[in-house]
Amino acid sequence: MGAQQLSGRLITLEGGEGAGKSTQAKLLAEALTRNGIETIATREPGGAPEAELIRDLLLKGAPERWDGVSEALLMIAARRAHLRHTIEPALARGAWVVCDRFADSTVAYQGYGAGVPVEALSALHRLIAGELKPDLTLLLDLPVEEGLARAQSRHGAETRFEQKDIHFHKRVRRGFLEIAKQEPRRCVVIDASRSIDDIHRAVRLVLGERLNVKLRTA
């Protein structure tokens, strides 16, 4: 499906472990819905039945279970199912999609983090998505140590990615910031070290500035 056929909006939330993406994605989707915009909240890896199966493969097990290339290929397979069954049908009918992680995470984690050539990852994305890119990407940024501490405190078992060493996560953070630097018209960096309410207010402000959508708070 070509990007020109899609009339909805795609908003993605990106960032490292513990940045609060899932919480902010939920709050944003609820705010858009309250303001009369049909909104689908989804996530990656996952967001469609087939992709959720792959999510388990990616997140469970030892850190060395997959190398970077294997992770990238699994991510791309999951994203293809997600696009076909969830994202593209929603955008085609004019709905907005709020996605917790998308292609930038693959570039940051498997590219900058694990060393897979970014050009190869970009080619794989074009293969499955054509020219489709988010209308807006919100990068929730905070120091790696703080994010990992948050992530470890919110649940018992760590994911494969949370178990990777601190140097990996610092490369991932640098990758996200480099993506935002390269695409300033699409990406907005938000300080995620603040409270949940403060971050949500910042998100609403960005929506007003970038997409001309003024969201009521209640």
Nearest CA among 8, 39, 15 for reference residue 132: 8
Residue 178 β-bridge partners: none
Orientation angle between helical segments 68-82 and 118-129, nearest 10 degrees: 20
CA dist., res. 155 & res. 10, Å (int): 29
* CATH code of the domain made up of 3-211: 3.40.50.300
Q: Which helix (H) or strand (E) holds 140?
A: strand 136-141
Q: For residue 34, give both structure tokens.
A: 């309250």
Name the pLDDT band for 3 (thresholds 50, 70, 90): very low
Question: What pLDDT does residue 4 have?
Answer: 42
Section 54-80 average pLDDT = 96
In this model, does residue 154 exceed pLDDT 80? Answer: no
Q: How much is the pLDDT for 157? A: 65
pTM for the model stands at: 0.93
Helical ranges in 83-138 per DSSP H? 88-92, 103-106, 118-129
Question: pLDDT digit string (tens) for 18-62?
Answer: 999 999 999 999 999 999 999 999 999 999 999 999 999 999 999
Please, where are the H alpha helices in 48-143? 49-59, 68-82, 88-92, 103-106, 118-129
Q: What's the gap between Cα 162 and its chain centre?
A: 16
Say whether pLDDT at 156 is over 70. Answer: no
pLDDT of residue 2: 41
Beta bridge partners of 98: 11, 41
| Residue 128 to residue 1: CA distance in whole angstroms | 10
Lay out the sheet containing 10-15: strands in order across: 39-43, 96-100, 10-15, 136-141, 187-191
pLDDT tens-digit profile of 188-217? 999 999 999 999 999 999 999 999 988 876
Confidence of residue 151 (pLDDT cuts 50, 70, 90): confident
Q: Is the pLDDT assigned to residue 158 strictly greater than 90?
A: no
Per-residue pLDDT, 127: 97
Inter-residue contact 44 to 25 (CB < 8 Å): no
The better pLDDT of the pair 121, 2 is held by: 121
